[in-house]
Amino acid sequence: MQLLVTGGAGFIGANFIRHVMDRPEISRLVNLDCLTYAGHLENLHGLDVHPKYAFERVDLRDKAAVCRVVQAHGITHVVHLAAESHVDRSISGPGDFVHTNVVGTFHLLDACRGAWAEKYSGKKFLHASTDEVYGSLGASGAFTEDSPYAPNSPYSASKAAADMFVRAYRQTYGLPAIVTNCSNNFGPYQFPEKLIPVVIQAIIARRPIPIYGDGLQVRDWLHVRHRRAHRAAQPPPRRAPVRSRRRSRPAPRWRLAQAHHARRRPAGPRPALRD
């Protein structure tokens, strides 16, 4: 197996690569990353000398470079993790999300279609999406693979569009592709702009904990070690082109902040919650 991981210098990608690097079925692992603000090769310290590992600093928006990587390394399996993923950034600058998440995914799909030339036996394309494509969760219930798409931000709209391209390539060209719609992740190497690192840093620094709006938005959280269950070696399921991944215990944002505060609270006055 020649495995291509996009976004491998990021939070989820680095954890995934560390988890699968020594699997015997992987003969080559290529990390494609353009090293934006959230991608750091330090997350993969020690793996740069691994005999199976190769790094390609390539932007998914550069179709020619993406095609070159897929062809040159004889890629047989893809785990597509690279994405612009911060909701606030998508509101202030939605264009970057369209170009990276939608156009970049199209470039990768087309590169694989061209390189594989409809010889799909032993090939697999896994696209990591988000449960935010389904919209907002109410006070109860959970998203499933059958939930209708209802994206509410430029970020989730861009991921929904990318999902549709993956579906279209599967239906039109027979590309062996899977979409996974995972809930929010946390764990080692996460960029500090995300909610859980923000809450922890505020508690440690004894600053008010920032909570968006009224804090009642329901979110589900999954540790990145569970997300690593995206197994590149698994054969693509014939009847399950879409997979949802969640922890099954969603909670409002304010409760998450309260729980972290209770576990990590230093001695002295309690920091306040604020919006």
Active site includes 132? yes
Catalytic residue among 33, 59, 131, 220: 131
Active site includes 145? no
Quick one: pLDDT at residue 250?
56
What would the pLDDT profile of 33-58 be if each residue is shown by its tens digit? 999 888 899 999 999 899 999 999 99
The whole-angstrom separation of Cα 165 and Cα 109 is 8
Active site includes 155? yes
Catalytic residue among 33, 56, 132, 163: 132
Q: Are strands 218-219 and 251-252 parallel, antiparallel or unpaired?
A: antiparallel
- Nearest alpha carbon to residue 81 among 169, 23, 148, 19: 19
- Nearest alpha carbon to residue 5 among 17, 21, 23: 17
- Each domain of the chain, given as residue ranges in start order, spans 2-190+221-249
Under CATH, which number does the domain 2-190+221-249 receive? 3.40.50.720
> Of 61-65, 181-185, 213-217, where does the model show the most confidence?
61-65
Residue 122 has pLDDT above 90, yes or no: yes
pTM over 0.85: no
Indicate the average pLDDT of the chain.
83
- Retrieve residue 44's tokens: 């993969």
What would the pLDDT profile of 214-264 be if each residue is shown by its tens digit? 766 666 777 777 644 445 434 455 545 655 555 445 555 445 555 555 555
Catalytic residue among 134, 155, 169, 189: 155
